[in-house]
């Protein structure tokens, strides 16, 4: 790892707890339905997230030009509301619900870990979330990014190769000088295929117990359980 | 200014003192010629900067595909070295000289001013310098950018409209919610033409006395002499 100069991060699940954050915003914004027992915020979050990959596939396949994730979230929200018997939620509330994804909190180890890592490495998100979303998350929690990279910068969604390729190119580094950090082995496999180094972070609570992420990714160069452990391993 | 949510900044001359920084790196890297009196570092910096606009015109006109500013700097450096009788400087030193533009220091008011402004506003460079260059400048001096916007993100150079348009689009704001801050009235005029608000910063020392920038830009909405004064005017 002596050559690594920059760390790029998956965000949803790796940096922030999307499930708890979305559920909290859903409870705040359509609390009447939650109180009435007709809408479960965690199930709502799971369902919404479940439509994430299919919505991006429309763009990945070329069937549709690139649009930022906020646009996809706004569209899939309509389907999720309908599926949860909440068809009558007004448009203004829907727009506000989309911003739930801008108001997610990081896992507790993230901010102190990133602060340590920032002393030696360039840090950037490499997420499918857009620039405005990443700026909102960073300002909310003090994530010390040096730049915002990812889908919206290149107009393509992970796991398209150009997203991974853009990190070394835009940071003026070689692929082997960039370490991709993610809680999902598929993201790391796609990064590795483009020459990036890879670190797997175990986030056992990402799915709230409904799915159990593997404890390690045997194909990753590093396996850690927190950003503090990552800083330890990298000697900062 | 009640509606302004983000401030975007020209960098060379507005945020950093390119002339002193380039001259310092030239003196460090080809000091033998400076000592011998055959090469004047300030004149060298002026000449190099003088080739900046013409080199970008090749891209702006469409005669050449977009390349990052580092590539243009590397090319114009060869001409500047030849013009200063330094044709024999080796390639490795030339590559290092290009990084002079990554090692510029901010004007003294910049970091404390940006820290105050960051409390209320999203802050981003909107420069013709590339992403790696902006990351290097920010890490060198602690510039608290929330994202790196500008030429390389859109593949076009200011004053092309798409560079200015990209700031509100990528920050999910209206053009009138974005304030462009620059020490050059032409940059502000181009920003204003795209609906951005404008603030002129007087930087009397940018050209080391060889040219005298106007004290104000009558067309700008705000006129200030420092980032501290800008924070004062914006009430932060």
Bridge partners of A12, per DSSP, are A16
Confidence of residue B7 (pLDDT cuts 50, 70, 90): very high
Could you tell me which chain A residue has the CA closest to the CA of B145? Answer: A146
Bridge partners of B180, per DSSP, are B8, B198
Tell whether B125 is within 8 A of chain A (Cβ): no
A152/B131 Cβ within 8 A: no
Tell whether B135 is within 8 A of chain A (Cβ): yes
Tell whether B64 is within 8 A of chain A (Cβ): no
| Partners of residue B172 in chain A, C-beta under 8 Å | 70, 130, 132
**A72 contacts A56 by C-beta, under 8 angstroms:** yes
Residue B178 has pLDDT above 80, yes or no: yes
Report whether the peptide linkage leading into residue B159 is cis, meaning its omega lies within 30 degrees of zero: yes
| Partners of residue A171 in chain B, C-beta under 8 Å | 131-132, 135
Tell whether A119 is within 8 A of chain B (Cβ): no
Mutation target to probe the A interface, by most A beta carbons within 10 A, among B121, B172, B178 is B172
Nearest alpha-carbon partner for B156 in B64, B18, B73: B64
Chain B: closest CA distance from residue A122 (Å) = 8
Chain B: closest CA distance from residue A195 (Å) = 19
- DSSP letter assigned to residue A218: T
Tell whether A130 is within 8 A of chain B (Cβ): yes
| Partners of residue A130 in chain B, C-beta under 8 Å | 170, 172
Task: Report the distance separating Cα A66 and Cα A180, nearest Å.
Answer: 23
Nearest alpha-carbon partner for B151 in B74, B70, B77, B206: B70
* HEC string for A135-192: HHHHHHHCCCCCCCEEHHHHCCCCCCHHHHHHHHHHHCCCHHHEEEEECCHHHHHHHH
Rounded percentage of chain B residues whose pLDDT exceeds 90: 95
| Partners of residue B11 in chain A, C-beta under 8 Å | none
| Partners of residue B153 in chain A, C-beta under 8 Å | 153
The interface pTM score, or ipTM, of the predicted complex is 0.96
Residue B210 has pLDDT above 90, yes or no: no
Residue B2 has pLDDT above 80, yes or no: no
Tell whether A139 is within 8 A of chain B (Cβ): yes
Bridge partners of A200, per DSSP, are A182, A223
| Partners of residue A122 in chain B, C-beta under 8 Å | 135, 139
| Partners of residue A134 in chain B, C-beta under 8 Å | 147
Residue B166 pLDDT: 98
| Partners of residue B67 in chain A, C-beta under 8 Å | none
Using CB atoms, pick whichever of A122, A135, A145 lies closest to residue B171: A135
Residue B82 has pLDDT above 90, yes or no: yes
A70/B130 Cβ within 8 A: no
Residue A2 pLDDT: 76
| Partners of residue A152 in chain B, C-beta under 8 Å | 170
Residue A59 pLDDT: 94
Residue A185 has pLDDT above 80, yes or no: yes
For the stretch A13-65, pLDDT in tens is 999 999 999 999 999 999 999 888 889 999 999 999 999 999 999 999 999 99
What's the rounded mean pLDDT across residues A157-181?
A: 98
Residue B1 has pLDDT above 90, yes or no: no
Q: Full-prediction pTM beyond 0.80?
A: yes
Which phi and psi angles does A82 have, rounded to 5°?
A: -60, -45
Chain-wide mean pLDDT for chain A? 97
Query: Domains in chain A and their CATH numbers?
Result: 6-17+104-233 (3.40.50.1000), 18-102 (1.10.150.240)
Confidence of residue A170 (pLDDT cuts 50, 70, 90): very high
For the stretch A139-151, pLDDT in tens is 999 999 999 999 9
Could you tell me which chain B residue has the CA closest to the CA of A132? Answer: B171
B171/A131 Cβ within 8 A: yes
A147/B148 Cβ within 8 A: yes
Residue B53 pLDDT: 92
Provide the number of CB pairs (under 8 Å) joining chain A to chain B.
49
For the stretch A92-114, pLDDT in tens is 999 999 999 999 999 999 999 99
Residue A1 has pLDDT above 80, yes or no: no
| DSSP H or E run through B80 | helix B69-83
Count Cα neighbours of A80 within 13 Å in the Cβ-side half-sphere: 26
Residue A209 pLDDT: 85
Chain-wide mean pLDDT for chain B? 97
- DSSP letter assigned to residue B150: E
């Amino acid at each position: 790892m002596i050559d690594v100069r920059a760390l790029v991060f998956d965000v949803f699940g790796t940096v922030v707890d999307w499930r708890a954050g979305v559920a909290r915003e859903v409870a705040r914004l359509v609390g009447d339905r939650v109180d009435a027992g007709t809408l479960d915020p965690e199930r709502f979050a799971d369902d919404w997230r479940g439509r994430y990959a299919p919505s991006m596939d429309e763009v990945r396949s070329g069937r549709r030009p690139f649009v930022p994730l906020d646009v996809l979230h706004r569209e899939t929200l309509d389907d999720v509301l309908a599926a949860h018997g909440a068809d009558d939620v007004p448009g203004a509330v829907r727009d506000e619900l989309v911003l739930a994804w801008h108001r997610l909190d990081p896992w507790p180890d993230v901010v102190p870990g990133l602060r340590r890592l920032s002393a030696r490495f360039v840090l950037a998100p490499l997420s499918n979330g857009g620039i405005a979303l990443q700026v909102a998350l960073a300002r909310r929690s003090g994530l010390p990014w040096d730049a915002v990279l990812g889908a919206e910068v290149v107009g393509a969604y992970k796991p398209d190769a150009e997203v991974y390729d853009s990190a070394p190119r835009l940071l003026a580094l070689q692929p082997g000088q960039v370490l991709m950090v993610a809680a999902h082995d598929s993201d790391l496999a796609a990064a590795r295929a483009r020459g990036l180094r890879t670190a797997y972070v175990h986030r056992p609570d990402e799915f709230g117990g409904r799915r159990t992420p593997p404890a390690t990714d045997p194909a990753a160069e590093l396996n850690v359980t927190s950003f503090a452990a990552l800083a330890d391993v990298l000697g900062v």
